[in-house]
Amino acid sequence: MQASEWQGRVGQKWAAEWRRTDRSFGGLTDHLVARATSRPVKCMLDIGCGAGELSIALARALPDAQIRGIDISDELVDVARERAANLPNTHFEIADAGAWPGDGFTPDLLISRHGVMFFPEPVQAFAHLSRIAAPNARLIFSCFRDMSQNDWASGITRFLPEGMVEEPAAMVPGPFAFADRDAVSAMLTRAGWLDVAFEPVNYAYVAGEGDDPVEDALGYFLQIGPAARAAAQLQHAQRAAFIQQLREFLVQHRDGQMVALDAAAWIVSARTGDAPK
């Protein structure tokens, strides 16, 4: 996935679907907030902040901290600004984290909820982030583990014709670019980060809720996720067959007024050195 897509069609869809995307990542947000608030924070940078959920949660948990969120999608930044209008310690701007100058903002916490797997040159991007961070600053980000461990992705794409979804590859921008622990560790080390650590986290990916959670989840997956674009390209009969198989799959994962699928992520942490840059 290219950066230009986040600045266009993909960014527009995620901005329109922010309520459902926040819901699907809600369990992961709780883990990130717990780790972020385990130590004092003065200045926090939210990388690839999207519609702002993580920044907003941390602004409320850390009212004395300055929270800055950056994203390359102007549509998503507009949503984040609107949602955080009553939080004076937040600021959102359109920027590429791999080249953001900082403008005197020196974060002692750099955090991201699945916003870092789309860097075209991750070593350069993380090296830049290390340079603009404070001494001994913390880096905390989440990323998906292997696609096979994420039923919300592997369970859905199997209903598509063979070859319509590319097999994820390490360090190739996309949702599973950082699934390979060894590759990510080597990349961060090359970028100058220290004490790289990984914690596996499993959580419920809530895809649908309400009186008809199956149809809610179905509508969501036809807009967002690895199958959405491929499904849109299917001819009428194939598309109808795919939708029916997906609906039956989602019925199997319904629990009352909720459809939840297994999701598996890494929470990756690291730090900068003690000496000023």
Assess if residue 243 is contained within a domain: no
Assess if residue 107 is contained within a domain: yes
Which among 202, 199, 218 is positioned nearest to 263, based on CA atoms? 202
Position 102 scores a pLDDT of 87
Which among 81, 68, 76, 54 is positioned nearest to 6, based on CA atoms? 76
Number of domains comprising the chain: 1
Position 10 scores a pLDDT of 77
Assess if residue 255 is contained within a domain: no
Supply the range of the domain harboring residue 141: 3-148+167-205+264-271
pTM more than 0.85: yes
Assess if residue 186 is contained within a domain: yes
Assess if residue 80 is contained within a domain: yes
Q: How far is the CA of 241 from the CAs of 247, 250, 251, in angstroms?
A: 10, 14, 16
CATH number at residue 103: 3.40.50.150
| Averages of pLDDT over each 10 residues, the chain, 277 residues | 62 90 93 96 97 97 97 95 97 95 93 94 97 97 96 91 79 93 98 98 97 96 86 90 95 97 97 79
Assess if residue 240 is contained within a domain: no
Assess if residue 244 is contained within a domain: no
Assess if residue 99 is contained within a domain: yes
